[in-house]
Amino acid sequence: MKSCDRAIENWLHLDFKGVIPSKRKLLKWIEFFADCGFSGIIFELDCRYAWKTWEKAATPLFFEKDIAEILDKCREFGLKTAPLIQIHGHLEWILKNEPYARLKEADHVNELCPNHPDTGALIKLWIDEAASLFPDAEIIHLGADETWNLGTCPKCLMEISKDPAKGKMGVYIKHAAAMCRHAVAKGLRPVIWADMFWREKCCELASLLPKETILSDWQYTGKAPFKSTAELKKSGLDVWGASSARCAWYEHFHQAEQIPAQRLENVLSWNRWSAKNQSSVIHTTWGRPGNMWNLYPPWHGQLPVFIAAGNDEKWKNHHWRKFFDKLSGAMLRCWPHELEKIIADIKKLECRNEMERESLRWRELGLRYNLMEKERHLRITGDKCAAVTMKYTGRDEAMYNRYFVAAAEKEPDALKQWKIEVSKFWADNELSDLSEFLEERESVFN
């Protein structure tokens, strides 16, 4: 086992399945992340790396020499590095391809069957590949979250029937423990997401994993501490916290930016928990809700959250902080007139470096989209209601034209201009997936 210092670590997780910058721009981001104060970066390369284990399954943007260069940069700036792969669920990008479809749990594309005869060997091979790609790593994150279809195929059901006391978690633990042991044998401490234990109300069963295993308790809504963390600690394993610097829920299909206060609250609470409990945390940055779901916006919008996650004090004293409190309130209420005012005010904010300038540039574009989407929603629902009201009271034609007809006429031009400016932002910042991002946002207006 490589030496693993016991100091509290403050990790940033980057998910590559969403919008990501070019290698050239990523190297700049790494400088920024180091400056934020993170101790290391966990890279979830997902389908963006040409994994030899999963030949032809990925849509790679990064290759071996790129990763080596990225890791060199991290080393230069004092950032630790570690890989995150998935040993069980969230493997749609692999299992949707014919050569690997045989590994699916029943007919579910999101997760593999731990009892398929090829599963263990292939995942071990992937752990080996990830370990050699990240030679400085002391930990390896093995994912293992959200295995929604656990124990549904005939082979797994048969196994469950032999040990009904553990139920389907018996299947989960047997596989996770074997993969954790493989990582330990390679000198790496395995980390797994802990949600399956609290979902299935069996946190004590985590004690069946190798003692070196770290449970990471992701809780992205609200403020730490969470009951689940205390429950997981009863397993005797190390438990880390996990916030989300970027994720979304109901709003993720139809918005281009998210409310910063919700992310800041979550991230800062986990940092407070970390200091109080002398435990490490991972601040996650998701690219999509899942492999086969829509793109989240680029990292630029999360600049305040990255700063806060890296160092609470830095955000507390940041020259944007008060404005972002106001902005979050406006986004939460989502009143068009208030959003219009905030969008105008963004342009007056001071930018102290290029990263801040691009962050505000994106924030303005993101909010303009949210405003357009809100106005469209109000117009369409309002028009339907006005048609009913007219039957009872008649209609003020001038007002009707202003709120429904003229507003509808303005929309295509506003959307067209937005797309032009977003395309320019993407080009300047060398970002991936422009077509998909634009099409997904435009689909709401079709």
Residues lying near Zn ion in the complex (CB under 5 A) are found at 105, 113, 115, 153, 155-156
Kindly state the smallest distance separating residue 156's Cβ from Zn ion, in Å: 3
In angstroms, the CA 115 to CA 44 distance is 25
Nearer to Zn ion, 111 or 138 (CB): 111
List, in order, residues 6 or more apart from 133 with CB less than 8 Å away: 49, 64, 67, 83
Which tokens hold the place of 414?
Answer: 């506003």
Return the residue matching tokens 């403050």: 10
**What's the CA gap between 380 and 386, in Å, rounded?**
10
Minimum CB distance to Zn ion, residue 161 (Å): 13
Smallest gap, in angstroms, from Cβ of residue 105 to Zn ion?
5
**Distance set, CA 22 to CA 55, 245, 427 (Å):** 23, 21, 10
Determine contact, residues 151/157, Cβ cutoff 8 Å.
Answer: yes
Q: From the CB of 173, what's the least distance to Zn ion, in Å?
A: 14
The CB-side HSE value for 339 (13 A sphere, CA atoms) comes to 21
Pair 57, 51: CB distance under 8 Å:
yes
Q: Which is nearer to Zn ion, 157 or 334 (CB)?
A: 157
Nearest distance from C-beta of residue 108 to Zn ion, angstroms? 10
| In contact, 140 and 45? CB cutoff 8 Å | no
Q: Which of 347, 379, 369, 350 is nearest to 422 (CA)?
A: 369
Residue (112 or 131) nearer to Zn ion, CB = 112
Structure-block tokens of residue 232: 């997981």
Least separation, in Å, of the C-beta of 155 and Zn ion? 5
Burial 48-72 (b: 16+ CB within 10 A, else e): bbbbebbeebbeebbeeebbeebbe
Q: Which class for 129: exposed (0-12), middle (13-18), buried (19 or more C-beta within 10 A)?
A: middle
Measured distance CA(94)–CA(90) in Å, rounded: 9
Q: How far is CA 126 from the centre of its chain?
A: 22
What residues have CB less than 8 Å from 122, skipping those under 6 apart? 53, 103
Q: How far apart are CA 160 and CA 133, in angstroms?
A: 36
Q: Which is nearer to Zn ion, 112 or 371 (CB)?
A: 112
Nearest approach in angstroms of CB 154 to Zn ion is 8
Instruction: Give 115 or 228: the residue with its C-beta nearer to Zn ion.
Output: 115
CB of 318 to Zn ion, least distance (A): 49
Tokens at 260, concatenated: 């910063």
Report yes or no: 281 and 274 within 8 Å, Cβ to Cβ. Answer: yes
Q: Nearest approach, Cβ of 124 to Zn ion (angstroms)?
A: 18
| Of 118 and 350, CB closest to Zn ion | 118
If you search the block for the tokens 């390679």, which residue do you land on?
186
User: In this chain, which residue has its C-beta nearest to Zn ion?
Assistant: 113
How far, CA to CA in Å, does 62 sit from each of 51, 70, 71, 269? 10, 10, 13, 34
Shortest reach from residue 192's CB to Zn ion, in Å: 19
The amino acid that residue 251 corresponds to is E
DSSP state of 237: S
Task: Name which of 122 and 414 has its Cβ closer to Zn ion.
Answer: 122
104 versus 368: smaller Cβ distance to Zn ion: 104
If the CB atoms of residues 153 and 247 are measured against Zn ion, the closer one turns out to be: 153
Q: At what angle do helices 354-393 and 407-428 cross, to 10 degrees?
A: 160
Distance of closest approach, residue 166 Cβ to Zn ion, in angstroms: 15
Q: What's the closest the beta carbon of residue 175 comes to Zn ion, in angstroms?
A: 10
Q: Which of 265, 273, 415, 407 lies closest to 332 in space, CA to CA? A: 265
